[in-house]
Each structure stands twice: as structure tokens, then as C-alpha cells.
Amino acid sequence: MFIVSLHYTVAIEEIDKHLPAHAVFLKENFANGNFLLSGRKVPRTGGVILATMDDEEALWAVLHKDPFMVHGVAEYALTRFTPSLGRPEAAPFLEVRP
């Protein structure tokens, strides 16, 4: 699993031009199981995506289709993590350690 951190590199007005296409991209990846959650940072300097993918190279391939990346309006950083504790609803995403 990965935390994808986006940092906007242009004015919010430019981000807003690409926001509808970015939302379509997110919804497609929620539907196909690649992403679990997403949202804006506060203050609005970027966003965060919780990606359920395990393969970093495959995740980068998906992210390269994000309109924000296609148009060069955001930078991306990945943090891989192993979810091990959570609410009962999160059980399908947890890795149990012996």
C-alpha cells in the first residue's frame, strides 16, 4: 500500500482547470480497486491518495495518466507502508504479523 502525496506547482486557478478530469481519474481508480481514499491537503497545497497497489512501478504507470501529472501541475511523492492496525472495516487491507 502507498500514500501518494501531491504538491501543487502552479496557482490554484490552474489546478482548478484540471480538477474535473482529475476527479474522473480518481473515480476510475476507486472503481478498479487501485485507490481507497483521496482528499485535499489543508491548506490547499496539494492532495493525498491512499493507493492499495503493491507494485511501485505499476503505481507510477497509473499516476502518469493523472491529468495533474500529464499537465505538469503537481509533483508526486510515494511512501510505502504496511497497514497492520485499524478498524474492523479495514481488515481486508491489514497485513497480520505472527
- Give the model confidence (pLDDT) of 80-92 as tens digits: 999 988 888 888 8
With cell 501543487, the residue in question is 8
* Beta carbons within 8 Å of 26's beta carbon, 6+ residues apart: 35, 38, 49
Residue 38: the pLDDT is 98
d(CA 92, CA 74): 31
Domains in the chain (CATH in brackets) are 2-83 (3.30.70.1060)
Structure confidence by residue, pLDDT tens digits, 40-77: 999 999 999 999 999 999 999 999 999 999 999 999 99
Residue 96: the pLDDT is 67
- Is the pTM value of this prediction over 0.85? yes
Per DSSP (E only), the strands in the chain are 2-8, 35-40, 46-51, 74-80
31, 19 contact by CB (below 8 A): no
